[in-house]
Amino acid sequence: MMDSKIPAGELADKWKNYKDSSNLINPANRKKLDIIVVGTGLAGASCAATLAEQGYNVKSFCFQDSARRAHSVAAQGGVNAAKNYKNDGDSVFRMFHDTIKGGDFRSREANVYRLAECSLALIDQAVAQGVPFAREYGGYLNNRSFGGVQVSRTFYARGQTGQQLMVGAYQALMRQVSAGKVQTYTRHEMLDLVLVDGKARGIIARNLETGEIERHAANAVVLATGGYGKVYYLSTLAMGCNTSAIWRAHKKGAFMSGVSWIQFHPTCLPQIGETQSKLTLMSESLRNDGRIWVPKKAGDERVPNDIPEEERDYYLERRYPTFGNLSPRDISSRAAKERIDAGCGVGPMKNAVCLDFSKAIKEQGRDKIEEKYGNLFRMYDKINGVDAYKEPMLISPAAHFTMGGLWVDYNLMTTIPGLFALGEANFSDHGANRLGANSLLQSCVDGYFIAPYTIPNYLSGELKAEKITTEHPAFKEAEDAVQAQIIRFLNVDGHLSADYFHKALGKLLYDKCGLSRTKKSLEAAVIEIKALKKSFDHELKIPGDDQLNSELEKAGRVADFLELGVLMCYDALQREESCGAHFREEYQTTEGEALRNDEDFCYVSAWEWKGEEVQQELHKEPLVFEAVKLTVRSYK
């Protein structure tokens, strides 16, 4: 049985009770403790800055050339908070319920309620940092709606919310660097976790500019390294995004949870060619005013503006009249795929749907739409050469966010003592589907408000522990394993690039473990991925040496993706139901909606690594719902 360590008491009191009873460390002792934080996105930067401000010694690692280039800048649409500024019925409980329901009742009540509760403080924190949230004429902070909710709770800075929040966290981090409490290691990639007596006590990192392998020791390690959506190759994530940090930790004993819960964002630019390496995200905020449609007639060759109103199918408004174009991402993406598969897709590859602003422009005026979404329209024009004020945007679902990740308890600690996972690196808050604008929220809340309580609570028991240095044999053992893998990659001397294997894996997963899955497709995927892995082991070609070498970096990441891909398929196979972003075609209603099985699958899957070529062991954390009632998830 997995112990989630949820505090006692009423749901609304659990976090307060935890903070009131957590162990503290006096300022003099904090100076004696070292913490490693891997990742400098919103979760990592906020955690490092806050812990350093408390007095701990922090080492901050990122593989980018600057902490500011973390992928959090790409989350554009907004950040949720239950402030109820619109006086439209919002509350902490309402936000908690929306998030639980949005995740199809596959997340912990206690964690989700804490997320909603801490959202209130985050907005005040961000404003104090100077984040330029949109304001109404009178000066009050403005809000807009996002998918899966019927209130306006999303705070935004035009279409740059992630970037602006990232600037605030980066400033806080740099302030602690200047104060001497944070050491930054840019262009460094974590390659392994070091355990001493079963506890996380350091990492092995590679300097990506010199190739040097480095040892770093600490009293606790925090992984805030984002999600693994790039396993599909074509995704909205930056090219460098990967799973290696959490996967290496997984192979050292940290359980992975919900790995088959992958969100496909419905509002992305469609693929336009076989040589493409990335897909571009258009903010979900566009669905506040844009209407989504396809031609009613399959195979319609006319350009969108030539298709009259009566021949357009506003399929989200038709199928889900209560939520319409603001239906949750999983439902909206599947609905788009269904229309595209039915032959109603538009665009050169017939793989897109229309996002139309003509009605909003007519009712509100172009100036108002430009004020809200101007930078997104300019981005669309720059990429496609199309003025979306005059004709519809073309959008398509794309792999985006991973609800799965390292299993963590209420403390955000993994199954390895002393190893914490924050933000998208953990599975914690979103269940089987994430509601829009909850990603930035979770990252900030984990880093600013949760980890600064839970990590010291753990460290209070480590004050009398023996001081571990990088001379400990465990560091040499981990370093030797890293070096052996590098040598193995360089010596394969095949003829295929790491990108070749990554693309093959991505297409395989998209076709067989993507927006929809079947038992047959998943079983076939396992066989094919294992064969691809054998080919990778014998046919990989890495030019260059072990110094400055981006192809060597890719090889390590692709090796981890190949192993992860197998686990994703096993995770999807064992869950014989449809829930959220996990849609098994065998389990659907007569209307084509997800058919959940609460009697047999109301749990979080937690997988334990058992070794190479050995199927992982499944552990189950039962989900108990006391504050909400398990109901059929409907947005009709």
79 domain-assigned: no
- In this model, does residue 1 exceed pLDDT 80? no
Q: Which residues are catalytic?
A: 329
Whose CA is closest to 192, among 201, 205, 182, 208? Answer: 205
142 domain-assigned: no
- In this model, does residue 332 exceed pLDDT 70? yes
277 and 393 assigned to the same domain:
yes
CA distance 439 to 401: 9
479 and 384 assigned to the same domain:
no
303 domain-assigned: yes
Q: Where are the alpha helices (DSSP H) in 160-221?
A: 161-178
Pairing of strands 617-622, 57-61: unpaired
pLDDT by residue (tens digit) across 141-164?
999 999 899 999 999 998 899 999
Q: CATH number of the domain that 348 lies in?
A: 3.90.700.10
465 domain-assigned: no
389 and 494 assigned to the same domain:
no
SS3 content of the chain, % helix, strand, coil (to 5): 40, 15, 40
Number of domains into which the chain is organized? 2
Measured in degrees and rounded to the nearest 5, phi and psi for residue 625 equal: -115, 120
Q: Calculate mean pLDDT across residues 191-212.
A: 98
Q: CATH number of the domain that 503 lies in?
A: 1.20.58.100
482 and 602 assigned to the same domain:
yes
CA distance 251 to 30: 31
Q: Which of 348, 376, 400 is the last residue of a domain?
A: 400
Residue 423: DSSP 8-state: G
290 domain-assigned: yes
Give the residue numbers spanning the domain of 392.
Answer: 270-400
333 domain-assigned: yes
The band of 560, judged by pLDDT with boundaries at 50, 70 and 90, is very high
499 and 593 assigned to the same domain:
yes
pLDDT, position 636: 86
CA distance 284 to 333: 12
User: Which runs of E-coded beta strand occur in 269-346?
Assistant: 291-295, 312-313
User: Average pLDDT, whole number, for the chain?
Assistant: 96
Q: Which of 351, 373, 400 is the last residue of a domain?
A: 400
361 domain-assigned: yes
CA distance 541 to 267: 36
CA distance 285 to 267: 9
Angle at which helices 92-102 and 109-129 pack, to 10 degrees? Answer: 120
393 and 478 assigned to the same domain:
no
Q: Which of 345, 378, 400 is the last residue of a domain?
A: 400
CA distance 431 to 100: 7
Who's near 530: CB < 8 A, 6+ residues apart?
A: 566
Who's near 581: CB < 8 A, 6+ residues apart?
A: 261, 262, 263, 264, 329, 330, 403, 432, 433
Pairing of strands 57-61, 34-38: parallel
pLDDT, position 613: 87
119 domain-assigned: no
389 and 500 assigned to the same domain:
no
Has this prediction a pTM greater than 0.75?
A: yes
